[in-house]
Amino acid sequence: MNEFPKITIITPSYNQGHFIEQTILSVVEQQYPNLEYFIIDGGSTDNTVDIIKKYEEHITYWVSEKDKGQSHAINKGLDKASGQIINWLNSDDYYEPHALFKVATAFNRGEHVKVVCGRSRLFKGQKTVKYSNGTDVYTDNLAKTIGWARIDQPETFFKAEVVKKMGLLDNRLHYLMDRDWWIKYLLLFGLQGVVKIPDILVNFRLHEDSKTVSQNDGFQVEHDTYFYALARQYELSKYAEIVAEVCQVDERFAVQLDDYEPDEELLEEVFNYYLFLRANEFYAQNEPQKAQRLLEQINTDLLAEDDQKLWKKLKFRNKYIPQPILNIWRNTVSKIRK
């Protein structure tokens, strides 16, 4: 790549007029010399379009028209993208200064770099909630990285050549479109080419209308449905059956993944990590019976040594220490330490 590879940023929006100006300014004030910036608005009825017009000389392309949701809007931008590096930035988040320069520098480490993952600041109102460590990448453990698949999308940038392999976002996914992309990348390319940098690139806003805050149940159903469909697609019936038994799934959904030649051993490991993750979540939600049912199905030989220890600890806690009791104990210890 050259010193300033072309970067395409897509902002999907709908009635985010109270936030989008900060988003737009954070992009254009990067002063990155090789930027392609698209705003795809879903026909907003607030002041969003007026704000977009205010900055349209700095925007490569924008449109405001009815669409089929966030994934569809982003896909409209992906269809037009000509950058060597691609990502989207939602209309309620904003970049840190120099973020795109830091991303470009990371990609310029060599042709082997396919994905760059930074970090973000999560905030609510004027208060910083926490700093994210970025997309989870478990070095030398591809199965765990897929099975636990947590992506911090705003600060995870993909090279355009791998985006072509991954394909457009799945329009049927309302919550998990970024995780679907991440899983597809990992299945197609593994952990090679993933570079993590320590820089804070994005400010991620938590507010009452954001999907992250207000629609957690929807995320979980889509998450379980996705792995259920993945198990069915690769004829791993025992995993499909246990997910359908314990979780809520949409049996009509099918994963769109055409170019992947299945590695059966890897997929077995992936699903054991997925069951482990969900057992831990059910324990945290004080649903010990569901947690126990999943723990029983896990082949611990397919977990890394440290994770086998965690499995034993979770199994003990799930049987003898209900989550509310554990929370009381932790709060007490925290107060004593203060």
DSSP of 128-153: EEEE---S---TT-HHHHHHS----G
Phi, psi of 21 (to 5 degrees): -65, -40
Closest by alpha carbon to 210, among 281, 97, 325, 122?
122
- Contact between 26 and 55 (Cβ < 8 Å): no
Region 187-199: mean pLDDT is: 96
pLDDT digits (tens, 9 = 90+) for 42-77: 999 999 999 999 999 999 999 999 999 999 999 999
Pair of tokens at residue 297: 């199905």
* Three-state DSSP state, 69: coil
Pair of tokens at residue 60: 């490569």
Q: Is the pLDDT of residue 215 over 60?
A: no
- Per-residue pLDDT at 162: 96
- Contact between 106 and 113 (Cβ < 8 Å): yes
Angstrom CA distances, 162 to 83, 128, 165, 285, stand at 12, 34, 5, 37
Region 305-309: mean pLDDT is: 97
- Contact between 120 and 43 (Cβ < 8 Å): no
**With bands split at pLDDT 50, 70 and 90, how would you rate the model's confidence at 253?**
very high
- Per-residue pLDDT at 67: 94
Pair of tokens at residue 117: 């993952």
Pair of tokens at residue 218: 């929807």
Region 181-187: mean pLDDT is: 96
- CA 169, CA 78: separation in Å to the nearest integer? 9
- CA 256, CA 230: separation in Å to the nearest integer? 9
- Per-residue pLDDT at 322: 84
Q: Is the pLDDT of residue 212 over 80?
A: no
HEC-encoded secondary structure of 154-190: HHEEEEHHHHHHHCCCCCCCCCCHHHHHHHHHHHHHC
pTM for the structure as a whole: 0.92
pLDDT digits (tens, 9 = 90+) for 231-246: 999 999 999 999 999 9
Region 265-282: mean pLDDT is: 97
pLDDT digits (tens, 9 = 90+) for 11-24: 999 999 999 999 99
> Which runs of consecutive H residues, i.e. helices, occur in 12-159?
20-28, 48-54, 70-80, 99-107, 142-147
Q: Which domains can be identified in the chain, with CATH numbers? A: 7-213 (3.90.550.10), 215-325 (no CATH)
**With bands split at pLDDT 50, 70 and 90, how would you rate the model's confidence at 335?**
low
Phi, psi of 279 (to 5 degrees): -60, -40
* Three-state DSSP state, 269: helix
- CA 136, CA 123: separation in Å to the nearest integer? 20
Q: Is the pLDDT of residue 230 over 50?
A: yes
Region 254-275: mean pLDDT is: 92
**With bands split at pLDDT 50, 70 and 90, how would you rate the model's confidence at 325?**
confident
Q: Residue 302's Cα: distance from chain center in Å?
A: 25
- Per-residue pLDDT at 214: 44
Summary mean pLDDT of the chain: 93
Q: Is the pLDDT of residue 316 over 70?
A: yes
- Contact between 174 and 69 (Cβ < 8 Å): yes
**With bands split at pLDDT 50, 70 and 90, how would you rate the model's confidence at 329?**
low
